[in-house]
Amino acid sequence: MALIVQKYGGTSVGSLARIQTVAQKIKTFKEGGAQLVVSVSAMSGETSRMIKLAKEIQDVPSLREMDVLLTTGEQVTIALLSMALQQLGCDAISYTGAQVQIITDSKHGKARIKSIDGHRIRSRLDEGKVVVVAGFQGIDEFGHITTLGRGGSDTTAVALAAALNADECQIYTDVDGVYTTDPNIEPKARKMRSVSYEEMLEMASLGSKVLQIRSVEFASKYQVPLRVLSSMIDKPIGTLITREENIMEQAIISGITHNKDEAKLSLIGVPDKPGIAYKILSPISEANIEVDMIVQSVSAREGLTNFAFTVHRNDFNKAQAILQSTCKKLSAIAVQSDDKVVKVSLVGIGMRSHAGIATQMFGALDKENINIQMIATSEIKISVVIDEKYLELAVRSLHNAFGLDKE
């Protein structure tokens, strides 16, 4: 018999009526002949509501107590869902993370799963029960309750699937899959039938709206077939995230992502000598600012070079101030900064075996007269930084140029 792990998100269990609908779906699925482990989130809005409560009572809430608080959200939904299943005549039992030994490290609020004891779950499955496990939570080796970070129920589901060697992990959510690009920008965006783990990780900005990226890392590591599908429609197919070898018709380009949170900083006219990149970037990383793209140009004039990088817009002011002082220290000519830029990326494993993809991309942007300010490439991704006013145009013209609107 197939063993399937299903996860239902906050919206899918957002009301009693929805919980009953989910229970009915689970019952029907089980009657189709599968063993089922179900992991759920808290009812939508609950986790955020509790975070607010905590902040009203303690300026900087204790991380340990925060985890004790937040895990109650999932404890409510596992019990209610099990009751709803029992009411339908479907035998079910609920467990918290601690009860099934979801052992994590001790980093409250962003713990990582170390191991899961599948014994208890297996015994209940063998008794014919649906096993309902609280998402997002675990316990550390000292018995403290932990949580896995916002959206962490996805990771619970994948970890359960890995530990139980399940045939598939299905993430039921309020969207029906992963799209070739943001449908709000390009209405012709198409739902992908399948995508590789690697591409999905590179498409974090598209994917993270659908599932916690850490769950994809986990799925990739343990080779768990992961399916994202809608809990709102009947017989959904969704998008399968799987091994590259399992993908039937591999497109050259799978998707186009964008990131609006970029800001660009450049140091103009720095002496071109050893240690410059280090001297520019170390104060930035010491301030805990993450740097994304980095470009150093070939010496423009005798002995001088330009050095540019991007940071998250939230860090823009801080990074700018740091760079001003670096500019003085290194006797560079000037700091130039721009927080009105975005990053647009083309992702696809087909790039590895097809030459000229970058050229084709730049050609499509040129046709629209869009100036490329920075370029970065990896084996399966090409990213450009452009003026934010061209975001929509760039996404649409690339989507069109690579035929992503066609099946």
Provide φ and ψ at 113, rounded to 5°.
-75, 130
Measured distance CA(145)–CA(354) in Å, rounded: 49
135 binds Mg ion (CB under 5 A): no
Residue of 14, 118, 135, 225 that binds ligand ASP (CB under 6 A): 135
173 binds ligand ASP (CB under 6 A): no
Nearer to Mg ion, 118 or 151 (CB): 151
Residue of 6, 7, 8, 9 that binds Mg ion (CB under 5 A): 9
Look up residue 311 and give its amino acid.
Answer: V
Look up residue 361 and give its amino acid.
Answer: M
Q: How far is the CB of 10 from ligand ASP (least distance, A)?
A: 5
Q: How far is the CB of 200 from ligand ASP (least distance, A)?
A: 17
Residue of 110, 112, 150, 313 that binds ligand ASP (CB under 6 A): 150
Binding-site size for Mg ion (CB under 5 A) equals 2
146 binds ligand ASP (CB under 6 A): no
Measured distance CA(243)–CA(229) in Å, rounded: 18
On whether the CB atoms of residues 337 and 307 are closer than 8 A, the answer is no
Question: Could you tell me which residues are beta bridge partners of residue 346?
Answer: 256, 382
Nearer to ligand ASP, 135 or 138 (CB): 135
On whether the CB atoms of residues 291 and 285 are closer than 8 A, the answer is yes
Half-sphere exposure of 307 (CA within 13 A, CB side): 21
Q: How far is the CB of 215 from ligand ASP (least distance, A)?
A: 9
Residue of 35, 47, 326, 397 that binds ligand ASP (CB under 6 A): 47
Contacts of 163 (CB under 8 A, 6+ apart): 115, 116, 117, 118
Q: How far is the CB of 386 from ligand ASP (least distance, A)?
A: 32
Q: How far is the CB of 238 from ligand ASP (least distance, A)?
A: 18
312 binds ligand ASP (CB under 6 A): no
Residue of 138, 152, 177, 225 that binds ligand ASP (CB under 6 A): 152
138 binds ligand ASP (CB under 6 A): no
Residue of 71, 153, 215, 397 that binds ligand ASP (CB under 6 A): 153
Provide φ and ψ at 208, rounded to 5°.
-70, -15
Measured distance CA(40)–CA(55) in Å, rounded: 25
Measured distance CA(129)–CA(171) in Å, rounded: 20
> What are 229's two structure tokens?
């599908």
151 binds Mg ion (CB under 5 A): yes
177 binds ligand ASP (CB under 6 A): no
Residue of 6, 12, 39, 41 that binds ligand ASP (CB under 6 A): 41
Look up residue 268 and give its amino acid.
Answer: I
> What are 329's two structure tokens?
């220290």
Of 25-33, 39-47, 53-61, 82-90, which segment contacts ligand ASP by CB under 6 A? 39-47
Look up residue 188 and give its amino acid.
Answer: K
Measured distance CA(405)–CA(407) in Å, rounded: 7
Instruction: Provide the binding-site residues for ligand ASP, judged by CB under 6 A.
Output: 10, 41-42, 47, 73, 135-136, 150-153
